[in-house]
Amino acid sequence: MLTKKRYSVKDLFLWSRWETFLFLLYALIITVAYHILGYTFLHVPWTPVALVGTAVAFLVGFQNNSAYGRIWEARKIWGGIVNTSRTFGMKVQAMVSNEYCDTPVSEEELNHHKKTLIYRHIAWMTALRYAMRQTKDWETFRLHRTNREWQRKIYIPEFTTSLKDDLSMYLEDHEMDYVLSKNNKQTALLYLQSKHLKALKEQGLLWEFSFLELENVLETLFDHQGKSERIKNFPYPRQYAALSYYLVFIFLFLLPFGIVPEFANISDIISETNPLIGRFFVWMAIPLCGAVSWAFHIMERLARVGENPFEGSSNDVPISTIARGIEIDLRQMLDEDFDIIPGQFPEKHHVQM
């Protein structure tokens, strides 16, 4: 996965600090009950605990691999959008001309057609990234306290502005009304592109072969759009996600019942030769339980937030940054004044969105 944030153990701990405190508190309660209060029946043989842990490790590993695959596929799709967008801009600049036109038009009109096509493409990327940021029922990232806390620290453009306001910078009023009336706005924009290209061909401003070439580019954009929508609209199978979550919970529940008695037995053995160390050794079960519980929990949680690569987490594919970067490139190709070209979206806490 191409991460945008330089993660450290500190970051992961802060992100999961509430659960970590609960793990330590739970281990403390079991240790006190077993060692101080004498509830020695709080004992589960280590073998079944280890077997559950092995099953959990395999299942969480599978979930992490699947989540990584979804993130990497999404990144490749948007990498394809980058290349295809630059190709589209290049071909529009080269192919829209008076070369095959019986009645040549002014250079100003040619530039207007080029600008309209490129601006409409930017509008397509804008509509697509807004569609990818829409919340689905199965997306649970915002339900967690520290996830909401993290989202408030970073900048997600689609959560701070409206699609209508952004599209108004690239489309004429009648096109805005048409696009906003459709459920799939990005598809409507590609239809407008095809209609415009056909009109240019009929006018003679676009050679028939050039028309076919640009239509092929639109077909590729439809392909990228469909793949991106597939990842967004088809979640990681919930039966696997739910099973991983509940098995991790069961393992974390059983873990202190297996570790604390083991440490108590070791403590008795150590006390025969070193009473001081043996007396306190049992309490080492608390940090060990906390560390093991944190490791399994953080693996499951990382897989959970990686399942949906457009949800708005720090592990997401930075579609806003990618789209804005393409926009800057295309508008510079139009020789626009640098002062009117928008800058890149801000990067906060080493995170691009």
CA-to-CA dists, residue 65 to 6, 39, 69, 71, 310, angstroms: 20, 41, 6, 10, 17
Contacts 24+ apart (CB under 8 A), 170-177: 170/119, 170/120, 170/122, 170/123, 170/126, 171/119, 171/120, 171/123, 175/120
The Cα angle at residue 130 between residues 111 and 144, in degrees rounded to 5: 155
* Residue 180 pLDDT > 90: yes
Give the 3-state secondary structure of the chain.
Answer: CCCCCCCCHHHHHHHCHHHHHHHHHHHHHHHHHHHHCCCCCCCCCHHHHHHHHHHHHHHHHHHHHHHHHHHHHHHHHHHHHHHHHHHHHHHHHHHCCCCCCCCCCCHHHHHHHHHHHHHHHHHHHHHHHHHHHCCCCCCCHHHCHHHHHHHHHCCCHHHCCCHHHHHCCCCCHHHHHHHHCCCCHHHHHHHHHHHHHHHHHHHCCCCHHHHHHHHHHHHHHHHHHHHHHHHHHCCCCHHHHHHHHHHHHHHHHHHHHHHHHHHHHHHHHHHCCCHHHHHHHHHHHHHHHHHHHHHHHHHHHHHHHHCCCCCCCCCCCCHHHHHHHHHHHHHHHCCCCCCCCCCCCCCECCECC
Main-chain dihedrals φ then ψ at residue 161, nearest 5 degrees = -125, 170
Return the pLDDT at 141: 66
| CB-side neighbour CA atoms (13 Å) of 88 | 34
* Residue 85 pLDDT > 60: yes
* Residue 4 pLDDT > 50: no
Mean pLDDT (whole number) for 298-308: 83
Most confident of 39-48, 83-92, 333-342: 83-92
* Residue 117 pLDDT > 50: yes
Average pLDDT, the chain: 86
| Residue 317 pLDDT class (50, 70, 90 cuts) | confident
Within a 10 A sphere around the Cβ of 344, how many other Cβ atoms? 12
Return the pLDDT at 9: 62
* Residue 111 pLDDT > 50: yes
Main-chain dihedrals φ then ψ at residue 351, nearest 5 degrees = -115, 125
Return the pLDDT at 2: 40
| Residue 336 pLDDT class (50, 70, 90 cuts) | confident
Handedness of CA 50, 56, 62, 65 (dihedral sign): negative
Return the pLDDT at 37: 86
Mean pLDDT (whole number) for 139-152: 68
Environment class of residue 167 by beta-carbon count within 10 Å: exposed (0-12), middle (13-18) or buried (19+)?
Answer: buried
Give the 3-state secondary structure of 34-66.
Answer: HHHCCCCCCCCCHHHHHHHHHHHHHHHHHHHHH
| Residue 64 pLDDT class (50, 70, 90 cuts) | confident
The b/e string for 267-281 (b: 16+ C-beta within 10 A; e otherwise) is beebeeeeeeebeeb
